[in-house]
Chains A and B, each alone.
Chain A
Amino acid sequence: MTERLETRFEALKKEGRAGLVTFITAGDPNPETSLEILNGLPGAGADIIELGMPFSDPMADGPAIQLSSQRALNNGASMIRTLDMVNSFRERDDATPIILMGYFNPIYRYGPQRFLDDAISIGVDGLIIVDLPPEEDDELCHACLTAGLNWIRLTTPASDNNRISSVLRNSSGFVYHVAITGITGTRSAEIGELEATVKRIRTQTSLPIAVGFGVRSQSQVRDIGRFADAVVVGSALVNTVKSALEKKLTKRQIASKVHDFVTELATGLR
């Protein structure tokens, strides 16, 4: 298993704080700007990076992430380019864990084994493939774990204890708890309920628990960081890209807008 995730979570534990997981879509709004955003994330305060692999039909995502995928695809995003991006990032940062997140079809077309081989060799640390539930573990999960990549899954407010235990089987790295019933970037969770659910999941696993969906402000990050091991912010970041684009900012300016926002969020955990 690649060790960056484990090392990072151990370090966070020593520091006595939760980590910030930032989601951006690879190639959004274009390859150059996206790479500039990616490269600056650790410096801005991101502890773990989730990089979205764009897909035309992201059925579990809300409008913000759909649009970011669309912008990326309109500007030439592809699986090869996403992997290239990780490759250039790794040349300057060998410590920050990178998780690729997306849907199965682009991987299926690329070739699952070829994808795993390439992902390992360029320094990817784990995968979240939204539309591969435990019922479809033969598709990629087993091969992924065998190859030494982390397989990260989602739990939801609707997962009962039985379901949580099926989800945890063959999970590694961390558990991604979806705070709300719904899609990314919509409602926000009620904090008390969320804390109770995270406690319930903890009784079933020793893996770190990250919480995401609907998290968009420093105060939410701070509140969730009190009981979760990591907090994920996605839609709010790609929305920052969108509004920076609408203001016709330059590549450098767009990247700084995103980095400033990440720093603001990260401060909530320090």
Chain B
Amino acid sequence: MIRLMVNGQSYDVDVEPDTPLLWAIRENVGLTGTKYGCGIAQCGACTVDIDGTAVRSCSLPASEAAGKKITTIEGLAQNGKLHPVQQAWLDLDIPQCGYCQSGMIMAVAGLLKDNPKPTDADIDAALTNICRCGTYQRVRAGIHAAAAKA
């Protein structure tokens, strides 16, 4: 049993210690907003926040997240109010298929926490999530919009 604290709730999950956090969240906790894209830390679809840092959950053993504060896309909005990144994503109609966007939004939220007003160069250096639909141009605009509001 591993105790995971996800979005302010605690879950005792029966997984082996080396089960990737991604699959513990999707299958044991039951929150499917966090996505599987590659399983090898390449695409970022599985990004969650752990103790304030954006982490690719497919490549982190669940045991290492035990007891830490995990936030998934489902827990990003606070008290019914969208996170500024979510709001910008809505305003600019950024998602296409949307499959990468949970991870993209979590990665951007993490980026803005470290760097509230990133330049284009900062964005280029920090954001390596894959979007096969190719939403990058709007993602960039969305980051600037969210930064301007925050």
Judge: A and B partners, yes or no.
no
Which B residues are within 8 Å of any A CB, using their own CB? none
